[in-house]
Structure 1
C-alpha cells in the first residue's frame, strides 16, 4: 500500500487526481459490495441532496442518486478496515502535502438506472472542510455500455476531460476544492463507497 499512497500523493500534488484499478483485494471488495447492496435492499438509503445545512435540498434535475451515511460509531468490521486505511492515507498526505487533514467521512452511494450527477466540485461554498475526495467502486462486471462514467475535467478546462468506468475495485482520488467532475447517466445500479478527507473533526 505504500507504493499506492506515494502515487496518490504525487498525483494530488501535480494534476490533482489519480485512478487506481484493483485497489483492494477482491474478497474484501465482494463483502463490502454485499453490505452496500443489503443496505439498499433494506431501505437504508435516502435521496441525496444538494448543498448543506439549511440549504440542503433534493434537486433531482442536478443529482438523482441515493446515499447511506456510514457513522464512525456504527461501522462494521469491513468498514472500520476501510476507515483505518483512509486514516493512514490522511496521515501520509499531511506528511507530504501539509493539507491539515483531520478526519474522514463517507457513505455508500447508489445510482439506479437513469440516475446522474451534473458537473460540480465537492467542496461546499460556505464551508471549505472537504479537501480530498475518495471513491471506491463496487460494481462487478461493469461494461462501457452500462454508462455511469465519472467524467473528470482537467483543471481550468471545460472541454478537456477523462472518463472513468465505475469498475469493481477501482479507486479514484482527487482534490475536492479544484476538480470539476460529473457522473453520466447509469444504465444499471451503480454502487460506490464515497468519502472525503476533511480539515475539521466530525
Structure 2
C-alpha cells in the first residue's frame, strides 16, 4: 500500500481542526512531532543524506529580488547564512520519499486553508533540501517574505535523530511580532513546523555544531505572487530602458 494511504483523511482532519488552525490563528505558528512516522521519516533522511554526501547540495544564497518567471535571484553570503541546499520537485529519480512528504504537506495545508477561509494559496515552491554542516553555521534573524513576494506559509520538516540542542545548537528561534517573548523550536527528527512567512514571524537558525538537515517549502498567495512578478517585469523593463538611454 502506498505510504500516503497509511495516513487517513480523518487523522489529518483531526490534527487540522484541533491543533493546526487554532495555533495559526492564535500564535502564528504550529509544530507537531511524529508527522510521517519513524520508518517513513528514515526513508526521507536516507535520501537527504545521500544527496548531501554525493555533493548535490550547494552553498545557500540570499534572496536579492524576483527573477525571471517569478523565481528568486540570489546573492551569496556565508556570514548571514551557512547552509548548503538543493531544490527538488520530488518527481526526480530516487526522490519518492520526498515526493511522499510533499504530498502529505500539501494535504495538510489544503485542509487547513479550507478552515482558515484563505483560498488564495494554490501553489507552492519546490522543496529546499538544506544542510547546516556544523562548525557554528546558522542563519541570522530574518523574515522569509518582508516585501510581499507571495510566500504565505513556511513549512519545515526536520530530520535530525538524537538531536541535543544544548550540545548541538541549531534551534530555530521565532520572534513573534509585537510579543515580549521568543519561541525556540528544536530541529528534532520527524518534526513538522508551520508559520506565517511575513513580518509576523522574524526568525533565526542559531549556530549548529552538528550536521542539521531540514526540508522547507513555501506556499504562495497567488495574487500576491502575480503582483510580485509584475513588479519585477516592470523594474526589469525600466532598468533595460535606462541602460539603453545611457549607451
Query: Is the 8 Å Cα contact of residues 63 and 117 (structure 1) preserved in structure 2?
Result: yes
How far has the Cα of 1:71 moved from its partner? 2.2
Please state if 1:101 is matched with 2:112.
no
Q: Of the candidates 74, 78, 95, which is equivalent to residue 92 of structure 2?
A: 74
Q: Of the candidates 170, 191, 204, which is equivalent to residue 170 of structure 1?
A: 191
Secondary structure at 1:109's aligned position in 2? strand
Q: Which 10-residue stretch deviates more, 178-187 or 49-58?
A: 49-58
Q: Which 10-residue stretch deviates more, 179-188 or 19-28?
A: 19-28
CA distance, structure 2, for counterparts of residue 198 and residue 17 of structure 1: 16
Q: What runs of 5+ residues in structure 2 fail to find an aligned partner?
A: 1-11, 68-72, 227-247
How far has the Cα of 1:53 moved from its partner? 4.0
Query: Is the 8 Å Cα contact of residues 177 and 202 (structure 2) preserved in structure 1?
Result: yes
Query: Is the 8 Å Cα contact of residues 124 and 130 (structure 1) preserved in structure 2?
Result: no
Alignment TM-score, normalising by the size of structure 1: 0.91
Alignment TM-score, normalising by the size of structure 2: 0.75
Instruction: With a CA cutoff of 8 Å and minimum separation of 6, indicate the structure with the bigger relative contact order.
Output: 1
Alignment correspondent of 1:2: 13
Q: Of the candidates 14, 26, 42, which is equivalent to residue 54 of structure 2?
A: 42
How far has the Cα of 1:5 moved from its partner? 2.2
Q: What runs of 5+ residues in structure 1 fail to find an aligned partner?
A: none
Give 1 or 2: higher helix fraction: 2
Deviation string for 1:167-194 (max 9, x for gaps)?
A: 1111111000121110000001000111
Q: Which 10-residue stretch deviates more, 24-33 or 97-106?
A: 97-106
Alignment correspondent of 1:121: 143
CA distance, structure 2, for counterparts of residue 57 and residue 29 of structure 1: 32
CA distance, structure 2, for counterparts of residue 13 and residue 175 of structure 1: 10
How far has the Cα of 1:83 moved from its partner? 1.8
Runs of 4+ deviating beyond 3 Å: 52-55
Alignment correspondent of 1:86: 105
Secondary structure at 2:207's aligned position in 1? coil
Query: Is the 8 Å Cα contact of residues 90 and 101 (structure 1) preserved in structure 2?
Result: no
- Aligned length, in residue pairs: 200
CA distance, structure 1, for counterparts of residue 66 and residue 219 of structure 2: 19
